[in-house]
Chain A
């Protein structure tokens, strides 16, 4: 063959090979385009809902149906700490929902910590390798006997894992992870496709979660100061809606003469008085770090030592009540000029209550139940205008602080025996209360 002939043959071969490559690439691209199209459709599904559970469900359904991953899970970052919690899973029994993973633990924890995708196909080999080195290091005394193995959710005999950080800008929202008992189960294409799903999911999940938080925050702000509400929502304080028992000091108060006043006055005037009263009382509650559990018109229930423990709850309750009495007295001056007969009555008791969510699905409220709340309410009912009636326990706690007169024992509805009760006259060392 001539040199030219050889060249043109080589060239033809080259062209044929190139064509083969182009055909293969086109086929791959078609397959990829199909999957990309389906994924784009899914992304419009998840961005159209703000329900967190729905979003998670759609994402995992997609990872199973479109990408063929049989075992998948989504973990979300805890709002306050560097840990993840399993929120949704597919292909696991039991589901594992609720499990916690700390940053740096296992593939999922390392992905969260480094905010980079990670794919392993040979977990068992890797584990065997490090285990054998560990054994020899321990035997040679070069290292203390190893710590506990990380307790991780997922398949006990997983060989392949692919985990993707869910990021919004650079902030970690959570981790999307798939795994398999087969080695080398995931390839580059799987990584690419999971990335696409994950990026959409990250934004949708973040939005749904934010919406959830805002909802909860607005609910909590009805009972707690904005700071405390925020603390609860971000996980900085225990969830007060989880049922628990605690010893609390409860104060009931209401405005004597309010009913008569409301009946004989214009609604605008009533609202005006109420608004002023609530504003002033509200300030004092916050000042003394009390929790406003409920208010009905002119009546209020406030307690101390929950959801945040405070020192000297009884003392705080009494001081608050005295401050309120003072405040109402100065407001009264103004209201009386307009012809209203209004005065404060307070009842304070201390004891254990069961506290948590009271109500039903869609209408949970934070409330306390126990003898202590009944006692405080009844004492309030018995209080004459301007009186602050306290039960024996409370009196014991504050006896050095106050001057009091005995008004009991009082027979109170709902309580078997008559109860000792005292009226707080004034703080010791003060001429006026």
Chain B
């Protein structure tokens, strides 16, 4: 269900962030450092730093709504919306995935033209461990790249 291109980006090198909201519809934000698409191509597990996880988990427990923004520095972007399924602390296997992701992410940023002195501290500087792995079911995917077709539902 998730298109190939989006799967490719989710596994790195895209920039990713998650959006949630509380019972009063007040939004919250967290960086996502790595993700993995399950074989069913509908379920996604993403990793947020533990320092941000409290608010995210509290929101998800309240209403379960997830929005995952996935984009490349060159402004190709997608929005995945869905419902929360489960969460757990990240383990060694997750962290290994995250290391791979961080390497691809940095390479993509440099290729996109970010100078080294910006890309490196930016990407390397996220305190990704300890982390929390959040799993959700994707319900809708939208094209989010600004310009023609933005907002179109893809799947």
Contacts and interface: CB of A to CB of B under 8 A. Distances in A.
Tell me, yes or no, whether A and B come into direct contact in the complex with CB atoms closer than 8 A.
Answer: yes
Interface of A: 124-125, 128-129, 132-133, 136-137, 140, 142, 183
B113 to A, nearest CB: 6
22 contacts: A124-B113, A125-B113, A128-B73, A128-B75, A128-B112, A128-B113, A129-B75, A132-B74, A132-B75, A133-B75, A133-B146, A136-B145, A136-B147, A136-B149, A137-B147, A137-B148, A140-B147, A140-B148, A140-B149, A142-B148, A183-B115, A183-B118
A136 B74 contact: no
A124 B112 CA distance: 10
A394 B112 CA distance: 71
Nearest to A159: B115
Please provide the 6 A-B residue pairs with the shortest distance between their CB atoms, ordered closest to farther.
A140-B148, A133-B147, A136-B147, A132-B75, A132-B74, A142-B148
A90 to B, nearest CB: 25
Interface string B97-122: 00000000000000011010010000
B35 to A, nearest CB: 23
The dominant DSSP class at the A interface is helix
A151 B145 CA distance: 29
Interface in B62-102: 73-75
A183 to B, nearest CB: 7
Question: Range of interface residues on chain B?
Answer: 10 to 19
Contacts of A183: 115, 118
Interface of B: 73-75, 112-113, 115, 118, 145-149
Contacts of A124: 113
Contacts of B113: 124-125, 128
A128 B148 contact: no
Given A137-B148, A183-B118, 16 more contacts: A124-B113, A125-B113, A128-B73, A128-B75, A128-B112, A128-B113, A129-B75, A133-B146, A133-B147, A136-B145, A136-B147, A136-B149, A137-B147, A140-B147, A140-B149, A142-B148
A132 B76 CA distance: 9
A183 B122 CA distance: 15
A128 B73 CA distance: 9
B74 to A, nearest CB: 5
Contacts of A125: 113
Contact of A128 (B74, B145, B147, B149): B74
B46 to A, nearest CB: 25
Contacts of A137: 147-148
A128 B148 CA distance: 17
A129 B145 CA distance: 11
Which of B75, B113, B145 has most chain A Cβ within 10 Å? B75
B148 A136 contact: yes
Nearest to A139: B148
Contacts of A132: 74-75
A133 B74 CA distance: 9
Which of B74, B115, B145, B148 has most chain A Cβ within 10 Å? B148
